[in-house]
Structure 1
Amino acid sequence: MHKQNTPQSLTQLLGTKSNTLSSFAVKGALLNRFTDFLAKYVFENTGLNISDTCQVSNYRSGMLVIETFSPAVAMRLNYVKGGILTAFRTEFIAELANIEIKVVPKEQLKIEKEPDLPPKHLSQNAANALRDAAQHVPDSLKEKLERLAALADKNKS
């Protein structure tokens, strides 16, 4: 009898054909092959190395989706889109109908919020230096420097 909670090896989990995890692994491997082929094709035809900035992210309903972080790379890919389409039809997918090229900013992948910085305080030495400087400047700037120096007194209390 096989208990439900006993650990199973990853190869056993990926080996079952009805398993959803298995289908994801197969699709992921296929997309990696597509990405490698795309990088090789683009490098051979344009001299552009896109391996770090571009990937094939999906294939669905006859459409290949390519994502890049760079608008410049997206423009270059659009120039050779017809050749890429022909190469993929010849090498992998005869029923491929279209290629969609998306620009996905790196910032979109950043989920963590940057920590708020603590407010900066003006030291008493800086306030005294501002008051000294205010004595030798025109009146309009003098008022602004004195207000800025008053912030040090406000923060002290």
Structure 2
Amino acid sequence: MRKNHPCPLTKLASDSNFRKLKERADQLSALDRVLQSVLEQHQIKHCKIANFRTGTLYLAVSSAVWLTKFNQKRSDILSDLRQSIPALVSIEAKINPELAKKVTAKVNEPVQFKANPRRISETSAGYILGAAEHASGKLKEKLERLAALATERRASTDNEN
């Protein structure tokens, strides 16, 4: 017997628990923007807000190096944050290695893709066309297009020379 039945999204969006969750997420997002601007002034990176509860701001730091740097400037950061967040009493920071993985992925993000230098030889194109004869439907079309790349590339290199 099924306990959870589908319900319309409008009903979920109007639910008080969902509304509270959204407000909490918006609050933490706003706090994170303030935190990032303060941390930028103090040249500290790789920190994210984990939670804010009873006047204590909980941070996740990517490594022990950043935690040490944060701890050295903790009182200055707390003073700067209190100007924007008067309810802030203290800051607790813990290392979260998963954050380092996410930061590394973002750093490596702007990758420029180059044209594929590999070429399909005439022999390979012949084999691909042979396989296409025994295939059907979309697979046949794709194999034929792949084999056609060999002749297109050969024609473009002939035109360049």
User: What's the CA shift for 1:21?
Assistant: 1.9
TM-score normalised by the chain length of structure 1: 0.52
Gaps of 5+ in 2: 102-161
User: What's the CA shift for 1:88?
Assistant: 2.1
Choose which of 54, 57, 69 in structure 2 pairs with 1:61.
Answer: 54
Structure whose residues are more often helix by fraction: 2
The ranges of structure 1 where at least 4 consecutive aligned residues each deviate by more than 2 angstroms after the TM superposition are 12-16
Aligned positions, number: 96
Structure 1 residue 45 corresponds to structure 2 residue 38 = no
* Aligned counterpart, 2:97: 105
Deviations 1:130-152 (A, max 9, x none): xxxxxxxxxxxxxxxxxxxxxxx
Distance, in Å, in 1 between the alignment partners of 2:20 and 2:12 is 11
Distance, in Å, in 2 between the alignment partners of 1:13 and 1:6 is 7
Residues 6 and 60 (structure 1), Cα distance of their counterparts in 2 relative to 1, 3 Å cut: closer
* Aligned counterpart, 2:66: 73
Q: Which has the larger radius of gyration?
A: 1
Structure 1 residue 86 corresponds to structure 2 residue 71 = no
Choose which of 8, 11, 29 in structure 2 pairs with 1:32.
Answer: 29
Residues 6 and 45 (structure 1), Cα distance of their counterparts in 2 relative to 1, 3 Å cut: closer
SS in structure 1 opposite 2:83? helix
CA contact (8 A) 1:63 1:98 kept: yes
CA contact (8 A) 1:14 1:25 kept: no
CA contact (8 A) 2:38 2:81 kept: no
Which one-letter code corresponds to 2:67 in the other structure? A
Deviations 1:30-86 (A, max 9, x none): 21222222121111233x4x2xx2211101111110111211111111122112212
Gaps of 5+ in 1: 110-157
Distance, in Å, in 1 between the alignment partners of 2:39 and 2:79 is 13
User: What's the CA shift for 1:105?
Assistant: 2.1
Percent sequence identity over aligned pairs:
20
Higher RCO (CA < 8 A, seq sep 6+): 2
Cα-Cα RMSD: 2.4
Deviations 1:92-127 (A, max 9, x none): 2x23211001112229x9xxxxxxxxxxxxxxxxxx
Distance, in Å, in 2 between the alignment partners of 1:13 and 1:65 is 29
